[in-house]
Amino acid sequence: MRIRTVDAFTARAYAGNPAAVVLLDGEALHAFPADASLQALAAEMNLAETAFAHPLADDPEADWALRWFTPTTEVDLCGHATLATAHLLAEDGALPEGGRVRFRTRSGVLSASLEPDSTLTLDFPTATLTEVSVPDGVVEAFGAPVPAAWDTGGLGMLVLEIADEATLRGLAPDLAAVSALPSPAVLLTAAAAPPAREDAPEPPYDFVSRLFAPAQGIPEDPVTGSAHTALAPLWSRRLGRAELTGLQVSRRTGYVRTTLRGARTLLGGSAVTVLDATLHAPL
């Protein structure tokens, strides 16, 4: 069985967020192996997510079934592993006519479209943001003031605002304390700092973020596509624009283009295949 790793939300290898992807074929063409086998392989890969997909023969709404696993659990929504899966389908020449593929997932039908510049655009549901009180233990966990917090409903993330980009970049959180917070994933964000000079090496961006999910086996996620379904409405309201670019300032970093369209958010980015291997142990 073939397994590949793809760096998502980046145009260069060894940046962005790596995802392992298995496009199921052979005897498993139209079904997933046992959940325990999928989880075991995800734990073996030890990446933020491992994606598994198989084609659907009789589903009028979707072309492929898609599931995502962290090293410890299955998740309901994952942006970078969806981008990685669509990227491999494009590389294999397996996208449907028109360059748009639809995935049947635990979060409904999601689509990915190949753009003329070879980037991909995901169509995801926009997260619901509800402002809440900053939970006890947050300031101690992150070691910085938190002016505001939001619940994201079904997305399952707690969003925290940090004063500025420099503070966010410099945080060294207590991961044990983060695990004790009342949310499995904590998303921190701040407005982008003004560029230090006009020839700054990074492309322009509008906001920054970091995400920590140690309770899900992810100490810090390099680039979290699904998080931008919450960041897009937050910063679009603040900045008065529907189209923005977010930079996730993890060690690897990655860029996510966002377009807010009411109940849907478009997430755009590039991907690079870095490993193509054969899985010898059966699932």
C-alpha to C-alpha distance for 268 and 225, rounded to whole angstroms: 9
The residue annotated as part of the active site, out of 27, 49, 61, 131, is 49
**Residue for token pair 């596509």:** 225
Is residue 44 part of the annotated active site? The answer reads no
Give the number of other CB atoms < 10 A from CB of residue 219: 13
- DSSP classification of residue 98: T
C-alpha to C-alpha distance for 265 and 242, rounded to whole angstroms: 10
Element (H, E) at 168: helix 165-170
C-alpha to C-alpha distance for 267 and 227, rounded to whole angstroms: 10
Helix ranges, 63-157 (H): 79-91, 138-142
Give the residue from 216, 205, 214, 215 showing the smallest Cα distance to 249.
Answer: 205
- For 59, residues 6+ apart whose C-beta sits below 8 A from its C-beta are 104
- For 207, residues 6+ apart whose C-beta sits below 8 A from its C-beta are 189, 190, 191, 192, 231, 235, 244, 246, 247
Buried b (16+ CB within 10 A) or exposed e, 73-110: ebbebbbbbbbbbbbbbbeeeebeeeeebbbbbebeeb
- Let me know if 137 is exposed, middle or buried by CB neighbors in 10 A (0-12, 13-18, 19+): middle
Residues classed as catalytic: 49
